[in-house]
Amino acid sequence: DSGVTQTPKHLITATGQRVTLRCSPRSGDLSVYWYQQSLDQGLQFLIQYYNGEERAKGNILERFSAQQFPDLHSELNLSSLELGDSALYFCASSPTGSTDTQYFGPGTRLTVL
């Protein structure tokens, strides 16, 4: 158990819909990272927040957005969903802004029908 929690574990929705994925980092960790894992693209970095502010951006679509709240939990919002958005979405946390040691949550499996 990494100490990072993600909810929900599974999500099934339809194209065009909007969903919110939630992540609680390890106690005391200030950074939260979001990743997308799909069969064709592999594991791709989406975005990082550090202490409430956006720190780094990866291959995140404009339809996706994220935020980190004062209690340090984070949410990833996916809108206008397409079939190709079906994937495992991982959240990770680290104590500082460094990417060297990240602790991954168990992931949220999103299925878009």
Partner 1 sequence: GDSVTQMEGPVTLSEEAFLTINCTYTATGYPSLFWYVQYPGEGLQLLLKATKADDKGSNKGFEATYRKETTSFHLEKGSVQVSDSAVYFCALKALQGGSEKLVFGKGTKLTVNP
Regarding 95 and contact with partner 1 (CB under 8 A), the answer is no
One-letter amino acid at 92 equals: A
- Are 111 and 81 contacting, i.e. CB atoms less than 8 angstroms apart? no
Regarding 60 and contact with partner 1 (CB under 8 A), the answer is no
User: Among 64, 59, 71, 65, which residue's Cα sits nearest to residue 25?
Assistant: 71
Regarding 90 and contact with partner 1 (CB under 8 A), the answer is yes
- Quick one: 22 or 79, whose CB is closer to partner 1? 22
Regarding 67 and contact with partner 1 (CB under 8 A), the answer is no
Q: Pairing between strand 5-7 and 74-78? A: unpaired
Q: Footprint of partner 1 on this chain (CB under 8 A)?
A: 2, 4, 42-45, 48, 55-58, 90, 92, 97-102, 104-107
